[in-house]
Amino acid sequence: MSGSERTVDAVIVGAGFAGLYQLYRFRELGLTARVFEAAPDVGGTWYWNRYPGARCDVESMSYSYSFSPELEQEWTWTEKYPPQPEILRYLNHVADRFELREDITFSTKVTGATWDDGAKRWTVTTDGGETVTARYVVMATGSLSVPKDPEVPGIERFQGKIYRTADWPHEGVDFTGLRLGVIGTGSSGIQVIPLVAGQAADTTVFQRTPNFTLPAGNRLLTDAEIAERKANYREWREAQRRSGFGVPVPVAEKSAFEVSEEERNATYQAAWDQGSLMPILTAFTDSITAQAANDTAAEFVRGKIREIVENPEVAEKLCPTTYPIGIKRPCLDTDYYATFNKDNVHLVDLRQTPLAEFTDRGIRTAEREYEFDAIILATGFDAITGALTAIDIRGRDGVRLTDKWSDGPRSYLGLAVAGFPNLFTITGPLSPSVLSNMVVSIEQHVDFVTQAVTHLRDNGYAALDANVQAEGAWVAHVDEVAHYTLYPTADTYYNGANVPGKPRVFLAYAGGVGTYREHCEQVAAKGYEGFDFI
């Protein structure tokens, strides 16, 4: 297709959970759509992140599509927390079952999208040399799809092998007998470290900020659990949609200080034993809004770290103390802290001895050089905005998205950007996105977009554009809600702190997916209030 030019109703960028579902919905409307996906196959996150231990930390029967009751019934999840290969199989099944592949161009990156105000259409270009014009463009490009290397010089000098968790070799890697370095202790690092450390001769973990992690307690699902959920999927899905994080949990009724210390710790112990993130973060009404309440949960987990890790110095290094629990994305793990009890596993605290450079033999910190055969980078992503700003998107009057967002993203509902008509961002900045079970948020955004497009067609409008006032009000609201919580108090990818030079703006809507959904429903019910039709 190189060099060809075509016209479709919609271009969708990305073939992960979001792009696949958007394609399905647009087809139902009878639209012609073309999906472009940089990877050679479907899956998005679950195509790229194939490192040992990669799995979801939302339960499988909640982290799955709800749009097709038939799909829900015919697919059977095997584990409480699904491993990456199983989620990838599921997404391949979805692509095959709904015959989605024929409208997807793989191994092709979208490089630019330019709005033509006269034709009221987008012209989309790809790195394959294609030009496509479309009435609608949906960016299903992912919130965690642009990996970032550590900002340390010399990576090209290293003579051993470099592996990135976010782009892991399909054939797997055997670390047996090797001296291994791992940089990064976010969720990816915490999942991969116990497994690779069980294989390598010697493993050194470079930690800049310790993370809170709880035991996953992963296990096979029982037949009875599966049957029960399959019988009650509709009620469960509705509860997910109206919940705070896309995972129904009991709503707390008391402050952490309305109960005795004993009762508080018993609550935290039950949460710890449950193998789930939500119970400890939502145990009390003020768990993520008040520092003192949060401190009680954080101290409980630090106590667990001190119990598990035998060397007190190592335990202290592993204890997060510089930010509240839950405010930097916490993790569920399998044997993470216990891994540091092994004689051949070492922890380097980069706050004491920062990374200086890669050398031909390994890594040099401010203190010394470490020699390795292989290094794993688990150093995160240019999250939430990275995939959008990587594309040359130009709206009305030729305004570039990157210029409009030079001080941080501005968006109406996290879905639409004023001056960029008919361009939609699934789980875009200033929507619940990474603060939720993302499949729930993805389905809600795709449904909103599909209904908005139906509204345009039914009413004979060519395009809709968020108005600047509505956008400004939403930006202010997102900021206000964030400041009601402890989220802005920490340096995290939620506010761009992990990417040098990125504007510090809280990038997600912290009011909960249920509240957010209601807001979007009201916008639609009021004839798409806040949008102008052109």
- Which parts of this chain interact with ligand N01 (CB under 6 A)? 56-57, 144, 150-152, 183-189, 191, 208-209, 329, 331, 350, 355, 378-381, 434, 493, 498
**What single DSSP character describes residue 176?**
B
Closest to ligand FAD by CB, 14 vs 362, is 14
* Four-residue CA torsion sign, 280, 282, 283, 289: positive
Beta strand spans in 245-391 (E): 331-333, 345-349, 355-358, 362-365, 369-371, 374-377
The stretch among 14-22, 148-156, 213-221, 345-353 that binds ligand FAD (CB under 6 A) is 14-22
**Closest CB to ligand N01 among residues 363, 453:** 363
Under the binding rule (CB under 6 A), the answer on residue 145 touching ligand FAD is yes
Q: How far apart are CA 87 and CA 78, in angstroms?
A: 11
Q: Which does 196 bind (CB under 5 to 8 A by kind): ligand FAD, ligand N01, none?
A: none
Look at residue 208 and give the partner it binds from ligand FAD, ligand N01, none, a contact being a CB closer than 5 to 8 Å depending on partner kind.
ligand N01
Beta strands in 117-178, from DSSP E residues, in sequence order: 121-126, 131-139, 161-164
141 near ligand FAD, judged by CB under 6 A: yes
Residues 268 and 329: their CA atoms lie apart, in Å, by 18
Chosen from ligand FAD, ligand N01, none, partner binding at 185 (C-beta under 5 to 8 Å by type): ligand N01
**Helix, strand, coil percentages in the chain from 3-state DSSP, rounded to 5:** 35, 20, 45
Distances (CA, A) of 18 to 62, 106, 399: 16, 15, 26
211 belongs to the binding site for ligand FAD (CB under 6 A):
no
37 is a site residue for ligand FAD (CB under 6 A): yes
Give the bridge partners for 50, in sequence order: none
Site for ligand FAD, residues 99 to 118, rule: CB under 6 A: 109-110
Nearest-angstrom CA–CA distance, 497 and 475: 19
Find the part of the chain contacting ligand FAD (CB under 6 A) among 12-20, 401-409, 450-458, 510-518.
Answer: 12-20
Q: Give CA–CA dist 97/74, Å, rounded.
A: 11
Smallest gap from Cβ 93 to ligand N01, in A, equals 21
- Please give the Cα distance from 53 to 196 (Å, whole number): 9
Helices (H) and strands (E) in the chain, counts: 17, 20
Name the residue among 494, 180, 144 with its Cα closest to residue 342: 180
CA atoms within a 13 Å half-sphere pointing along the CA-CB vector of 131: 6
| Residue 498 touches which of ligand N01, ligand FAD, none (Cβ within 5-8 Å per kind) | ligand N01
Among 10, 11, 14, 505, binds ligand FAD (CB under 6 A): 14
**Smallest gap, in angstroms, from Cβ of residue 47 to ligand N01?**
14
**Does 57 participate in binding ligand FAD (rule CB under 6 A)?**
yes
Minimum separation from the CB atom of position 369 to ligand FAD (A)? 30
**Which parts of this chain interact with ligand FAD (CB under 6 A)?**
13-19, 36-39, 44-45, 47, 49, 54, 56-58, 63, 109-110, 140-145, 188, 387, 391, 426-427, 437-438, 442
